[in-house]
Amino acid sequence: MTTALISHPDCYEHVTPDGHPECVDRLRAVDAVLCSEEFMHLLRAPAPLAEDAHLLRCHPQSHLDRLAAAIPQAGDRALDSDTFVSPLSLRAARRAAGANVLAVDMVMAGEANNAFCATRPPGHHAETTRAMGFCLFNNAAVGALHAIERHGLHRVAIMDFDVHHGNGTQEIFERDGRVFYASTHEWPLYPGTGAAHERGAGNILNVPLEGMSGPDAFREAFTGQVLPALRRFRPELMYISAGFDAHARDPLSTIQLSERDFVWATHALCDVADEFAGGRVVSTLEGGYDLEALARSTAAHLRVLMERAG
């Protein structure tokens, strides 16, 4: 069996202003490292455009309409102080969400054991009715709801190790016990949500980590809290919001992780998937703003997924 890699060149067409951290070069760096021979056996598939029906599972029509109305004819337009759209942004965003739909379909059909969506814009800050934090649609939420509503799953877990709290994913699912959302994130940091007392309907686990806390605190959060909670939930699909911006090289954070920590965390999440979900893992790219760290971390994450796919 195999690991699927889902991406699309349209994701290069979401253009942010010069100097913006969530830039086209991020995906170029990821694609470049995944061109090497060791990744030749990935099952590569082009991301389809998410259909309205997929997006409407977590965003209302008014969100789609508002985004469409905000798209400029040329250049870029700010939705807030750090979230921008350009003429082809919605095409890129629909590829990113559609990648997650296809990843779920492939993993559920047994065409791949696990899958990674190498796409942008990222998704975990996008709330039901609000694009923010570089995110337009919540890609992981679209995928998780597709697994539930199209494939009939009853329990999907989303583990988000991006260094920022996934306020959007939490907001979308905080009253939906079909999804368990766990997040490790630097605290305090953007967007300011994700305190440990935010527990939703008992289906949210936030583990804030102090700046400079390093690998030991991150791994302790996993072994002490995240992994036991995931095992209690018994997910039928393990979803990963894979942001690599907790890396020591990243300009937006100070947690100081390395590729080794992402490898360790990926193995731990695959262990949970093996126990409860038949090994099914769907991982989707969130943040990561140092190009070298992003490329190396993504490659390391994919090596684990490939190894675990057998």
Which residues are marked as active site?
A: 125
Question: Which C-beta is closer to Zn ion: that of 301 or that of 308?
Answer: 301
Question: Which C-beta is closer to Zn ion: that of 105 or that of 162?
Answer: 162
Residue 147, C-beta contacts closer than 8 angstroms, at least 6 positions apart = 104, 108, 153, 156, 236, 237, 282
Q: For residue 286, give the amino acid letter.
A: E
Q: Pick the closest to residue 210 from 167, 255, 256, 166 (CA basis).
A: 255
Residue 66: other Cβ atoms inside 10 A: 15
- C-beta of 172: minimal distance to Zn ion in Å? 17
The DSSP code for 241 is E
Structure tokens at 26: 């991020």
Structure tokens at 84: 């921008």
- C-beta of 104: minimal distance to Zn ion in Å? 22
**What gap in Å lies between CA 142 and CA 137, rounded to an integer?**
8
By the criterion CB under 5 A, which residues form the site for Zn ion? 162, 164, 243, 245, 287
- C-beta of 15: minimal distance to Zn ion in Å? 20
Question: Which C-beta is closer to Zn ion: that of 1 or that of 212?
Answer: 212
Residue 234, C-beta contacts closer than 8 angstroms, at least 6 positions apart = 155, 276
Question: Which C-beta is closer to Zn ion: that of 14 or that of 280?
Answer: 14
Are the C-beta atoms of 220 and 195 separated by less than 8 Å? no
Question: Which C-beta is closer to Zn ion: that of 3 or that of 170?
Answer: 170
Place of tokens 């990821």: 30
Q: For residue 15, give the amino acid letter.
A: V
Is beta strand 237-242 parallel, antiparallel or unpaired with respect to 156-160?
parallel
Rg (CA), the chain: 17
- C-beta of 69: minimal distance to Zn ion in Å? 27
Residue 172 in 3-state DSSP?
helix
- C-beta of 242: minimal distance to Zn ion in Å? 10
Residue at shortest CB range from Zn ion: 287
Residue 110: other Cβ atoms inside 10 A: 10
Question: Which C-beta is closer to Zn ion: that of 96 or that of 112?
Answer: 96
- C-beta of 252: minimal distance to Zn ion in Å? 7
The DSSP code for 74 is S
